[in-house]
Amino acid sequence: MMGFLRMVTPPASPPAKRSRRQRRVRANGDGFPVFLPKEVKDIKDPFARALAQRIVRIPVPLQMGNFRGCVMSSCIKPIVQQHDKSPVVLLHCFDSSCLEWRRTYPLLEQASLETWAIDVLGWGFSDLGKLPPCDAASKRHHLFELWKTYIKRPMILVGPSLGATVAVDFTATYPEAVDKLVLINANAYSEGTGALKDLPKSIAYAGVKLLKSFPLRLLANVLAFSSPLSENIDWTNIGRLHCQMPWWEDAMVDFMISGGYNVASHIKHINQKTLVVCSENDQIVSNQLSVKLLCELKNAVFREVPDSGHLPHVENPKQFVKLISDFASGKIN
């Protein structure tokens, strides 16, 4: 796939053979990891197909509530780690996955940025057969344990929409783990899941099934993107692929009744240099909220991405990557 770095090495001795189990976990005949839902084969977007083939699971220790153990956590790992630069760590929107970064990730690698794309606990493609708590505190602690175990250096943490809320929540709790922040069309002023947390579980599960439905997801895509219908249909299938994971409904209900995120009071305590990004044509989060965020943060700059809606990293990846690259290098300050 064009855009992904390839490591070329001289011929050497044959690699050690993997066990049958390792080969089964790694990939099926189409190159996709076997833990991905079978519907991944129906995706047409070449960027999504290429990135899906790079999804791996890594063990992350987690102790929350009554859960004790390791979560096999899905992510996209960098090919090479650069210990002299801050790594870029990509979160995703509400109820999404690392495939959201399908058009941006290869460009970030081309820009020589060490880049991780992380599935937030309770979403994405992790192995949650034994379900841990999926509330905000567990999502935060899981990300910290992943950072502490594998990344180990202050990072440039990037979050779109609710992912920006996740990033603010994480940074307020673990400031030592974050070098800089990038908040995209940030949904940082929502007050959790509101009345949804008080729903009976039977009603909550019914609501989650509706959230999973193709028509509702397609409507969300039409609001987010100004793309042809055929492309929106494929992008809808990408956006709901993780909903086919067997634990997804349980994880969503757990998050819903936990109350979700409420981080507005944390914003003024964020000291890290922050790039606030908004889109010219966002139909989901008002640009006024980005301006409010800019004013409340202690050390922030503002940029607008033209010709894009709620997810500029999907619609205008080249412009977005330039912003990230310039921010990482200090050209934006």
Catalytic residue numbers read 161, 282, 310
Residue 279 backbone phi and psi in degrees, to 5: -100, 150
Q: Which residue has the tokens 């030592």?
A: 176
Tokens of 22: 């390792």
Buried b (16+ CB within 10 A) or exposed e, 214-228: eeebbebbeebbebe
How many other C-beta atoms can be found within 10 angstroms of the C-beta atom of residue 254? 19
Q: Count Cβ atoms below 10 Å from residue 19 Cβ, excluding itself.
A: 8
291 three-class SS: helix
In the chain, the amino acid numbered 161 is S
DSSP H helical ranges for 100-225: 105-110, 136-146, 162-173, 201-212, 214-224
Q: Which residues fall within 8 angstroms of residue 292, CB to CB, at 6 or more apart?
A: 189
Cβ neighbours, 10 Å, residue 293: 23
Rounded distance between C-alpha atoms, residue 228 and residue 225, angstroms: 9
CA 89/CA 333 separation, integer angstroms: 19
Q: Which of 63, 50, 56 is nearest to 27 (CA)?
A: 56
Q: Identity (one letter) of the amino acid at 313?
A: H
Q: What is the CB-side half-sphere exposure of residue 315 using CA atoms within 13 A?
A: 22
Q: Are 237 and 42 in contact (CB under 8 A)?
A: yes
- Beta carbons within 10 angstroms of residue 137's beta carbon: 14
Q: How far apart are CA 90 and CA 192, in angstroms?
A: 22
